[in-house]
């Protein structure tokens, strides 16, 4: 846990909080002694001026204690909140640079719990530690010593009450700590089920799985609640018992102290002070117990966060990056590329080899699971290849800064994702300087002007995930967004599948005529022969292998897989 705070917490604030806390403890430790003086020397002797003098001193120490407590809480809160803020941004910075391989390692819902709930646990413990963990031992030592100076005859009471309290605290912790620890994994589970339920709500309804999903959530919720109730019951039971131990100690002090007073071996004031110090001693143990009860849960949180921070991102900038040549003649080359998913034994792609240059359209076709998406994902280095080379403008993409590479590639993924904001915000996602004219031009190519105008133009609101647009409209907006970004390579991963034949054909014709797009290489992943037929180069994938490469006419004449795909699609149309 200390590792996680290192460099993320303000040391000046921590030192300030500790200093204030020391002042507070010293002030608090002085008060019982002053009470005993006032009783012994003022009240017992009827010395009014002494009472006033010590009374003012007590007010002074009380005010000092309040001010110090305020300073301590202020700095403790500030530094623990800052620690939380720094942790959240460090996790976010780390995660945003994850490649798909790393995202495959940690569940998204768990990442969310780690950024929110786990960070809160650390913050709470940091706050408690700065308030109590250091206060308790100082108070414990100070109060024990001062209690002894007030009456060494009564100190034996501690010999009984402290072990009783410690044994009790030990029993409580033994039961509570595993439960505290389990809270985090149970929170994870709730988040996972809740998230899946929310994102898949339509599917759940369509398949009438509402009851099943509700039960699944209920189970997770019930499990969490049961655990929380157990923890709270233990804590709730612990408090009255601890109060009982404290009251028992008080009774013993009054009982035996009374006897000492009547035999004139002890003064009343000393007994009152002893009683207050005894409470401070027991309170210190309780404060320590509270902190130690929270530590295991926070330690579990800390290791969950550290686990994310320690993940080594595989795809990093090279030590000596090269720059892309300043040219308008762009090229994309795959040279004998092999790729294997980290969890898989077999190659997902093997010996992929092709070249394309500015003005050319490369189309990738193949059955479901043949490796089309995997292939295009290698271009922006979402995954790194196992062997071979991928080159952009003649440079191995692993020698480029990832920011430069991503700037050079405009990518439309299979599932179109839009962000909350306006259409304009979404369109400017890859090109902040785009003018309204450029955006309208891109929308025109993507056959989106009509519905965007209907929605209210570029200022039209886009809901979370583009929920207020249809699937086809989202696809077209994602295509337009990719066109607004001026790139060397435009990748469309199955982006035309949601369009009808006519719109698909019009859109591709517009792409062919657009001067900006024609300066780059266009890569289209498609399922339909009609979509790929006019491409300059068609790659036919089958089971991760490049089984055909050529134009439509060439492949139609001599490629078996291509002919098979053609036949199956003709058959489908014939059947209608
Ligand atoms: N993250 C992953 N981890 C392990 N294997 C994966 C992963 N993603 C895809 N695969 C496997 O790689 C193969 C190729 O998948 P890919 O998504 O590239 O196919 P595709 O041709 O794009 O299919 P579709 O047309 O259905 O989108 C499949 O066998 C798939 O199971």
Rounded to the nearest 5 degrees, what angle is found at the Cα of 117, between the Cα atoms of 111 and 118? 75
Q: Which residues have CB under 6 Å of ligand 1?
A: 104, 341, 343-344, 348, 366, 368-374
CATH top-level class for 331-575?
alpha beta
User: Which protein residue has the closest C-alpha to ligand 1 atom 4?
Assistant: 341
Q: Please provide the size of the chain in residues.
A: 576
User: Which protein residue has the closest C-alpha to ligand 1 atom 31?
Assistant: 369
Which ligand 1 atom is nearest residue 493's CA? 22
Which ligand 1 atom is nearest residue 377's CA? 18
User: Which protein residue has the closest C-alpha to ligand 1 atom 20?
Assistant: 369
**Average pLDDT in the chain:** 89
Which ligand 1 atom is nearest residue 414's CA? 27
Q: So what's the pLDDT on residue 571?
A: 57
When pLDDT is cut at 50, 70 and 90, the band that residue 325 belongs to is confident
Task: Note the pLDDT tens digit of each residue in 150-165.
Answer: 888 888 998 898 899 8
User: Which protein residue has the closest C-alpha to ligand 1 atom 2?
Assistant: 341
Task: Note the pLDDT tens digit of each residue in 489-548.
Answer: 999 998 887 788 888 888 888 888 888 888 999 999 998 888 899 899 999 999 999 999
Which ligand 1 atom is nearest residue 101's CA? 1
Which ligand 1 atom is nearest residue 375's CA? 18
Q: CA–CA distance from 54 to each of 61, 130, 172, 460, 471 (Å)?
A: 10, 31, 42, 73, 79
Q: Kindly tell me if the per-residue pLDDT of 111 is higher than 90.
A: no
CB 529 within 8 A of CB 365: yes
Question: What is the distance between the alpha carbons of residues 397 and 392, in angstroms, rounded to a whole number?
Answer: 6
Q: Kindly tell me if the per-residue pLDDT of 338 is higher than 80.
A: yes
When pLDDT is cut at 50, 70 and 90, the band that residue 575 belongs to is very low
Q: Kindly tell me if the per-residue pLDDT of 396 is higher than 70.
A: yes
Question: What is the distance between the alpha carbons of residues 25 and 133, in angstroms, rounded to a whole number?
Answer: 12
Q: So what's the pLDDT on residue 300?
A: 81
Which ligand 1 atom is nearest residue 343's CA? 4
Average confidence (pLDDT) over 69-98: 92
Question: What is the distance between the alpha carbons of residues 104 and 243, in angstroms, rounded to a whole number?
Answer: 51
Average confidence (pLDDT) over 355-371: 92
Q: So what's the pLDDT on residue 573?
A: 52
Distance 349 CA to ligand 1 centre (A): 10
Q: Kindly tell me if the per-residue pLDDT of 267 is higher than 60.
A: yes
Q: Kindly tell me if the per-residue pLDDT of 485 is higher than 60.
A: yes
Q: Which of the residue ranges 251-255, 319-323, 503-507 has the most confident prediction, judged by mean pLDDT?
A: 251-255
Distance 548 CA to ligand 1 centre (A): 19
When pLDDT is cut at 50, 70 and 90, the band that residue 66 belongs to is very high
Q: So what's the pLDDT on residue 273?
A: 92
Q: Kindly tell me if the per-residue pLDDT of 346 is higher than 60.
A: yes
Q: Kindly tell me if the per-residue pLDDT of 320 is higher than 70.
A: yes
Give the percent of the chain with pLDDT over 70: 99
Distance 64 CA to ligand 1 centre (A): 68
Task: Note the pLDDT tens digit of each residue in 452-466.
Answer: 999 889 999 998 878
Task: Note the pLDDT tens digit of each residue in 171-215.
Answer: 888 888 888 878 878 888 888 888 888 877 777 777 777 888 889
Q: Kindly tell me if the per-residue pLDDT of 572 is higher than 70.
A: no
Distance 194 CA to ligand 1 centre (A): 26
CATH top-level class for 2-310?
mainly alpha
Average confidence (pLDDT) over 324-337: 88
Q: Kindly tell me if the per-residue pLDDT of 411 is higher than 80.
A: yes
542 HSE (CA, 13 A, CB side): 11
Q: So what's the pLDDT on residue 20?
A: 95
Distance 545 CA to ligand 1 centre (A): 13
Q: So what's the pLDDT on residue 24?
A: 94
Q: Kindly tell me if the per-residue pLDDT of 314 is higher than 90.
A: no
Residue spans per domain, the chain: 2-310, 331-575
| Token pair recorded at residue 72 | 């301590």
Mutate-to-test residue for ligand 1 from 314, 347, 371, highest number of ligand atoms within 8 A of CB: 371
Q: CA–CA distance from 393 to each of 243, 363, 374, 524, 540 (Å)?
A: 76, 19, 21, 19, 24
CB 281 within 8 A of CB 242: no
Question: What is the distance between the alpha carbons of residues 157 and 139, in angstroms, rounded to a whole number?
Answer: 18
Is the predicted ipTM greater than 0.90, yes or no? yes
Q: So what's the pLDDT on residue 10?
A: 87
Average confidence (pLDDT) over 403-430: 90
Average confidence (pLDDT) over 45-54: 89
């Amino acid at each position: 846990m200390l590792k996680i705070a290192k460099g993320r917490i303000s040391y000046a604030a921590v030192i300030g909080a500790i200093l204030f806390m020391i002042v507070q403890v010293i002030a608090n430790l002085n008060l019982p002694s002053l009470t005993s003086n006032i009783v012994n020397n003022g009240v017992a002797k009827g010395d009014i001026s002494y009472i006033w003098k010590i009374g003012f001193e007590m007010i002074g120490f009380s005010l000092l204690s309040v001010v110090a407590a305020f300073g301590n809480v202020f700095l403790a809160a500030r530094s623990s909140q800052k620690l939380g803020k720094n942790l959240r941004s460090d996790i976010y910075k780390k995660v945003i640079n994850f490649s798909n391989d790393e995202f495959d390692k940690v569940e998204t819902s768990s990442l969310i719990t780690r950024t929110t709930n786990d960070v809160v646990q650390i913050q709470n413990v940091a706050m408690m530690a700065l308030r109590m963990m250091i206060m308790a031992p100082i108070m414990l030592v100070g109060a024990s010593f001062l209690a002894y100076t007030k009456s060494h005859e009564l100190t034996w009471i501690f010999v009984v009450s402290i072990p009783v309290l410690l044994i009790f605290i030990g029993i409580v912790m033994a039961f509570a700590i595993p439960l505290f620890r389990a809270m985090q994994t149970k929170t994870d589970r709730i988040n996972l089920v809740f998230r899946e339920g929310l994102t898949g709500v339509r599917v759940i309804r369509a398949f009438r799985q509402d009851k099943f999903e509700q039960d699944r959530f209920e189970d997770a919720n019930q499990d969490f609640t049961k655990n929380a109730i157990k923890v709270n019951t233990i804590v709730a039971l612990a408090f009255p018992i601890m109060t009982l131990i404290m009251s028992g100690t008080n009774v013993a002090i009054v009982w035996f102290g009374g006897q000492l007073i009547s035999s004139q071996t002890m003064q009343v004031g000393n007994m009152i002070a002893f009683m207050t110090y005894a409470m401070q001693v027991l309170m210190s143990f309780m404060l320590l117990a509270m902190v130690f009860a929270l530590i295991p849960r926070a330690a579990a949180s800390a290791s969950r966060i550290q686990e994310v921070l320690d993940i080594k991102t595989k795809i990093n900038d090279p030590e000596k990056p090269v720059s892309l040549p300043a040219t308008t003649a762009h090229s994309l080359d795959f040279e004998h590329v092999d790729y294997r998913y980290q969890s898989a034994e077999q190659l997902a792609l093997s010996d992929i080899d092709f070249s394309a240059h500015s003005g050319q359209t490369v189309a990738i076709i193949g059955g479901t699971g043949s490796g089309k998406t995997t292939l295009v994902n290698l271009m922006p280095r979402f995954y790194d290849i196992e062997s071979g080379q991928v080159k952009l403008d003649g440079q191995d993409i692993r020698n480029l800064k990832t920011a430069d590479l991503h700037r050079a590639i405009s990518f439309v993924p299979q599932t179109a994702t839009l962000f909350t904001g306006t259409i304009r915000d979404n369109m400017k996602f890859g090109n902040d300087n785009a003018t309204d004219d450029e955006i309208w031009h891109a929308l025109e190519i993507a056959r989106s002007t009509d519905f965007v105008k209907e929605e209210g133009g570029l200022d039209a609101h886009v809901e979370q995930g583009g929920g207020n647009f249809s699937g086809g409209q989202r696809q077209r907006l994602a295509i337009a967004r990719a066109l607004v970004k001026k790139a060397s390579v435009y990748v469309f991963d199955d982006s035309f599948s949601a369009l009808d034949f006519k719109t698909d054909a019009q859109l591709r014709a517009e792409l062919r005529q657009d001067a900006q797009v024609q300066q780059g290489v266009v890569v289209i992943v498609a399922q339909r022969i009609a979509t790929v037929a006019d491409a300059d180069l068609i790659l036919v994938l089958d089971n991760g292998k490049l089984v055909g490469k050529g134009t439509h006419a060439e492949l139609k004449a001599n490629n078996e897989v291509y002919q098979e795909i053609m036949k199956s699609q003709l058959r489908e149309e014939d059947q209608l």
